[in-house]
Structure 1
């Protein structure tokens, strides 16, 4: 499907015709036709409206020119299509014939968000840019933010300033919220858990509502002037990175998953070659 109309002048017949076809496609694939994702530069597919409102937004603000794969509107992603082609090729092979591609770097069909993240990693920062990609630019900017302990408001202003200096149609997010969403597919979420300043306990489970450590009687919250408790401001916080999202990433590639589970199919002849060989390893498998 020709999508070059997205780069045409909004007033041109070519743009209007292509945009109408886009709305028909989006409406035909929408479960709720009153809440279709708006692809205008204002909404960037984050909000849903009727086609009438979307028309107003696009003709006032323009459409996302780099939204060439309409994955948010029901079109299969390009990488999924390639994965399906590989799958069909593998299914067509004679029995017993293995395919290197089938064991390669293809991802599971349920990994759409991660695949889009991979696609972002290959996107140039702006059309014609050969020095860096969108992903590399964001990583460098976040490193700069951490190095200089940059405030959120300051970081957002930096993004806006750099975006103004870059050519039109650049991929740089306009604020820190959009920038963080670019990394969401990596599963980098975390939990903040209050902890005793003396490392006695974590305020979770039976101690979730406690305000004083049962072991050392230290306040859970910081103390201000005259030892007045600052309610809501924890004295110490543990940043916990859940392991399950990381396991999901590790098992998204069939090749990586096979490498991680090799011990399940290892040779068992009574000789101990690996920690998984002793009988005590069964406790690990069962628990």
Structure 2
């Protein structure tokens, strides 16, 4: 039986809207309620993140509009069509949210951080008032709130939900529009297919299957995928590795030190050198937005230590000493311990080409040993451009990362823990670096080429000069 949703988007003062809203509430409480008296409120303020009573949800959706793009009621018991699911549009009674949720919905839920139930000790839902400042619920502020809340991140969320439920073509039960696009993008990354080739593939599929809902170009497809978040920032840099055009220096047109122009092409405003930086905070937050990874981020503290053998960095003296010296940080096992790895490589197949790109990678060591070193667990922090290695000037490029690490150590960042369905202050610490010996000199600032090359012995090194070699 199809559900009438024609009332969505109509004026909230009409009987049609109110009748439709009551039918939605009847459906939601029949199929997906918490304890029989709470459901996730879909209003723009709650954004599916708060569990409310029927009266409260009705009040919220009279003051604020029902989200127009929420056409398939995932969080209220309606089954979606997508990857691996059968083509049912009927509803069913679902008892367990975690086992029934569709894979595409779960992915979007993780990406946008939609929260679960937030109950107080009495078991009641959050009773936050959503009226305007003077408390009279005036219509004056409704449009402002709509523009502020509904036209921001929530709109992207609803659009992706719509793409996740829309069939790739009429009658397709295996792929939705979004799941097909993500699968295709996954193949591109695995086999290093160029953007130009992907555009031609999309054109071919579009031509062969005219009724398929596919983007015309890969550029358009990337726009959809970018809505999932975790993008990177382009920061112009001096080609001589003197400085970043970042922060207070963002508007400078030439290097403060060597006076080299910021641009390789001043007319097109094309920077001479670009650092690609991947912000750390949202990536650490994302680890806790999925209940599975949020649970594994506690492994170092919760897993049983069967013997005295060292199977994980948590068993080392360095880890234990750090915990003793920073007991407040160690109190919460969710605080992240990171390792930093950096080294250069030639991205071109022809090794005769002199080029050295330096990726900087972070490893979260909270996770178990069989997970933390997998490629999917590694966090790419930045890509330092070539053609030459940055050497001791690597400090210039590390500035954005160091700034974020300081903020994560002192202030932390508010993060949703999906395993416990609660907010907490996430902090992080850089425990150690991983590199070869020359790179160690660049990262630490210690001169690894002189007679005091050993960073452990420092000035207590006994050195000898070779009689015939001169070293």
**How high is the TM-score relative to the length of structure 2?**
0.34
Three-state SS of the structure 1 residue aligned to 2:6 is: helix
How far the C-alpha of 1:141 sits from its partner, in A, is: 5.7
2:273 matched residue in structure 1: 236
Counterpart mapping for 1:175-254 below 5 A: 175-176=217-218, 178-222=220-264, 229-230=266-267, 232-254=269-291
Distance 1:72 1:222 in 2: 46
Counterpart mapping for 1:27-106 below 5 A: 27=10, 72-75=68-71, 77-78=73-74, 81=77, 85-86=95-96
1:65 matched residue in structure 2: none
**Which is richer in strand?**
2
2:114 matched residue in structure 1: 110
Which stretch shows the higher mean deviation, 185-194 or 195-204? 185-194
2:184 matched residue in structure 1: 137
1:197-241 CA distance string (max 9 Å, x none) = 122221112321222222333221116xxxxx5462210111222
How far the C-alpha of 1:252 sits from its partner, in A, is: 1.5
1:39 matched residue in structure 2: none
Q: Which of 196, 213, 232 is matched with 1:150 structurally?
A: 196
Does the C-alpha gap of structure 1 residues 210 and 110 become closer, same or farther in structure 2, counting only changes over 3 Å?
Answer: same
CA contact (8 A) 2:69 2:158 kept: no
Cα RMSD after superposing both structures:
4.9
- Count, aligned residues: 206
**Deviation above 6 Å: which 4+ runs of structure 1?**
129-132
* Structure 1: unaligned runs, 5 residues or longer: 4-20, 34-69, 88-99, 224-228
Three-state SS of the structure 1 residue aligned to 2:264 is: strand
Three-state SS of the structure 1 residue aligned to 2:96 is: helix
Distance 2:328 2:67 in 1: 44
CA contact (8 A) 1:29 1:74 kept: no
CA contact (8 A) 2:195 2:218 kept: no
1:16 matched residue in structure 2: none
Do structure 1's residue 277 and structure 2's residue 320 form an aligned pair? yes
Does the C-alpha gap of structure 1 residues 233 and 73 become closer, same or farther in structure 2, counting only changes over 3 Å?
Answer: closer
Three-state SS of the structure 1 residue aligned to 2:196 is: coil
CA contact (8 A) 1:71 1:77 kept: no
How far the C-alpha of 1:261 sits from its partner, in A, is: 3.3
Distance 1:29 1:246 in 2: 39
**Which is richer in helix?**
1
Q: Which has the larger radius of gyration?
A: 2
Distance 1:230 1:24 in 2: 52
**How high is the TM-score relative to the length of structure 1?**
0.51
Three-state SS of the structure 1 residue aligned to 2:252 is: coil
